[in-house]
Amino acid sequence: MVRRTAVVVSCVLSAALLAGCGGSGGAEGQARAAGLGPDGVAQSFMDSWSTGDHQQACTLVAAEDESGGLDATEQAQCPQMLGWLLGMNDPARLKAATVRQSTVNGNHATVAWSGLGSGSEDDFTMVRIKGRWSVDSDTFN
């Protein structure tokens, strides 16, 4: 189910990202995520998303071009999309998800989950931009 959700998220976020890539949106989330590794940011995203704090979750997503956070247009569209996607999943299962392991390779990382099922289709990809980790929008492709 998470893989199907990821495909839908990809389509939805891609549409939002095409509306305007780049920008410096997400300052609040990026400030809160400062100093966290990829596992901490991924867990913060999952915790925010699964509890309905989509505004906060969106501040932890990188722009598709990896220039920074989502811009103002993307930030405005993202919470609705995440809310819609949450409705397609079991929120209790998402709330129970915890980071099992993260593997860092330079400015990119892969985060594997416990509690979502098995398989790499549930992994998140992360990107470090200007020293801060964000959920890579490619996670949802």
Residue 116 burial by Cβ neighbours in a 10 Å radius (0-12, 13-18, 19+) = buried
Q: Which of 1, 94, 89 is nearest to 42 (CA)?
A: 94
Token reading at 58: 């969106």
Q: Which residues contact 114 (CB under 8 A, 6 or more apart)?
A: 97, 98, 99, 100
Which residues of the chain are under the pLDDT cut of 50? 1, 3-28, 31-32
pTM: 0.74
Report the pLDDT value the prediction gives residue 118, as an integer from 0 to 100: 59
Token reading at 99: 């980071």
Render pLDDT for 29-52 as a digit per residue (tens, 0 to 9): 554 455 689 999 999 999 999 999
Q: What are phi and psi of 8, to 5 degrees?
A: -65, -45
Cβ count within 10 A of residue 34: 11
Cβ count within 10 A of residue 140: 21
Domain boundary assignment for the chain:
2-140
User: Domain 2-140 has what CATH class?
Assistant: alpha beta
Q: What are phi and psi of 101, to 5 degrees?
A: -165, 150
Q: Which of 41, 77, 83, 91 is nearest to 61 (CA)?
A: 41
